[in-house]
Amino acid sequence: MRVITLFLTLWTYLSAMDNNLYPYADFYRQEGIDTLEKRLDHILTTKEFWKQKIGDSNVTLGWYEKPLDILACKKSDKRLTLYHFDGKQYSVKLKIPIVIGRRNGDKQRQGDLKTPVGIYRIIEKKRDVDPFYGPLAFVTNYPNPLDKTLGKNGNGIWLHGFPPNCPDKNSTKGCIASPNTELLSLDKNLTDHKSSLLMISQDKIPPVSRENIINILSFIYSWRYDWKYNRLNEYLSYYNSNLKSSIGDFESFKKHKTYIFAKQQNKEILFYNIQITPYPNTLGKKIWRVNMKEKYFSNNYKFNGTKLLYIIQEGDKFKIWREF
């Protein structure tokens, strides 16, 4: 089935692109489908491929394969900017004033009155809320998976409105709040709250360059290559020694993967709908959040869901720090 699928995919491209892929067809004629597949997998690891793929896309707030909205909140400015990414460029849809937690700094625990710093998803829009929260509230996924590994706790971090007859509200217990008319305008301009990202930074958003994105994509697909072809030592070299994952710490992860790789199983690993976002933090680290859909197929295991990585960058080197 895999051979048929790959052959049909190549045939479709050949039909659509005249003779651009004829050399690959000739390579297949002489070397076979497995060798061709491995060569194509290697091409995906190259920076040249990703330079072509990204093209002149704007990467100011990261790189995304599908359109989405980003709500960028700068705590120091007490302002939230709604950006829309159309698959190539960003546009500013709205800017609204906000108030934040009455204490400065990154949220660590329940009741510390601080607003968290990081990247969050909006997991729910509540319309039936207590009037204290205004006309509606967006519920975030604080604490996110990274927060939990750092020992952060608490819950109920919302983006909501103001209580009635309280136009001069100047702080919250940790939530982000905006005047009711502004919040309603945000709701109207938000394309899809479930696919949007909330980026909360203490001051400026971490800078992003095209080179950053190209290097990260090359890193991800090099990691995938060694994973797919059971190159255990090379695969483990992509991980930080302080790894925390759904399997456990680095030693637990290594033990599990050593067992799996020893089987030398054929596997298919596909990534799509990739999102690469600079992760604001107060740790003094350069962190990238990589969220993508993954399809994994082997003889005895199948997975079709979300892969979430937090990647640490030190100089021009990358390591997977968290994996879920």
Active-site residue set: 160, 175
Distance CA 294, CA 17 (A): 27
Alpha helices in 83-240 (DSSP H): 145-149, 180-189, 210-228, 232-236
Cis omega (within 30 of 0) for bond into 67: no
| Non-local CB neighbours of 34 within 8 Å, separated by 6+ positions | none
CA dihedral (131, 134, 135, 141) in degrees, to 10, reads -110
At residue 218, φ and ψ (nearest 5 deg) are -65, -40
Q: What distances in angstroms separate CA 115 from CA 31, 120, 178, one per listed residue?
A: 58, 12, 14
Distance CA 263, CA 183 (A): 54
